[in-house]
A = this chain, B = another copy of it.
């Protein structure tokens, strides 16, 4: 690639910003030496942080922003009154084509609202979704929506399936990703209307998408499919339940190792292996909630993350940019529209 990729960073978003963002940027620079990072935020605070890290010089530009979006700002307020904020200006850079993507660890609701307004949704997408990558027994799975849309109609779920499938193919590099709709195992009346309708559309429409039907909550961790599609309410609960359960397991293991002298000794011996295990499920490795369905790349880092986590969120944005994710999505959605239209004509005629 001759052109350098540019990524805009909301330097003021996140519990430990701006220090954490600058440190994360420094980590990302090592992995992506040919990417330019635009740090958007309070220049008087950013300048000393950047000049203290000499190797950042060649890769970093600063863009001063007067305002900051706080975690308490309601999305509607942020839209109206935070036009000069670091978050908004980072997204503006993406819209203007000056950056390929934006990363922020700030207020999720505000970021989603601003991203929708500034970047706009891709034709064929009614509502963008939030996606994330989960570790599984078989590798990695993408799940969406994780909270952008509390209630979803069947067509939203169908669109999410396409968005997630392209993400798994383009960004995770899977050849022919499989897609499942999250449902429950109740007899007779499986799931709600939206889920059943979406399933019948995905079964009938001819798309290069490998739809595997319904999956259940335990299939997320099992890695039964590469893409799990659900509404934002269910997805958010599933995401946080998985996080909580993983934390519970860690607590129980820690208590087990501390419960006797022999167990403590065992821990000392197994320590290295256990650390590698923990790294596999390290939430920082899977940091980066991706806003899918927009005319630009926007990644939300966890607000409480550290430099390593933020660097991983940056990595997601870089990967999406380099693989031309938005163009691929546009193409697939166009195909979905044509396929749906063809199916409708076939049903009528």
Residues of A participating in the B interface, judged by any CB pair closer than 8 Å: 74-76, 107-110, 135-137, 147-148, 150-151, 182, 184-189, 191-192, 216-222, 230, 232-234, 236-253, 255-257, 259-260, 262-263, 265-274, 276-277, 280-281
- Which residues of B are found within 8 Å of A273, using beta-carbon distances? 256-257, 259-260, 262-263, 266
CA A240 to CA B228, docked complex, whole Å: 14
Known contacts A107-B187, A232-B186, A233-B184; A239/B267 CB under 8 A: no
CB distance from A196 to the nearest CB of B (A): 10
CA A230 to CA B249, docked complex, whole Å: 23
Known contacts A74-B188, A150-B186, A218-B243; A249/B249 CB under 8 A: yes
Q: Which of B151, B218, B222 contacts A192 (CB 8 A)?
A: B151
List 27 A–B pairs whose Cβ atoms lie within 8 Å, in order of A's numbering: A74-B188, A76-B188, A108-B186, A137-B251, A182-B237, A184-B236, A185-B236, A216-B236, A218-B241, A219-B244, A220-B244, A221-B241, A221-B247, A222-B247, A222-B248, A238-B241, A241-B242, A245-B246, A249-B281, A252-B277, A256-B274, A257-B270, A259-B273, A260-B273, A262-B269, A262-B273, A265-B266
CA A230 to CA B234, docked complex, whole Å: 11
- Which residues of B are found within 8 Å of A260, using beta-carbon distances? 272-273
B239 near A217 (CB under 8 angstroms)? yes
A147 near B186 (CB under 8 angstroms)? yes
CB distance from A251 to the nearest CB of B (A): 6
CA A146 to CA B31, docked complex, whole Å: 45
A272 near B281 (CB under 8 angstroms)? no
CB distance from A304 to the nearest CB of B (A): 13
CA A91 to CA B110, docked complex, whole Å: 53
Q: Which of B218, B236, B262 contacts A247 (CB 8 A)?
A: B218
CA A294 to CA B267, docked complex, whole Å: 49
CA A117 to CA B232, docked complex, whole Å: 35
Q: Which of B76, B217, B269, B280 contacts A266 (CB 8 A)?
A: B269
Q: Which of B148, B191, B243, B250 contacts A233 (CB 8 A)?
A: B191
CA A187 to CA B255, docked complex, whole Å: 35
Known contacts A147-B184, A187-B110, A253-B253; A245/B221 CB under 8 A: yes
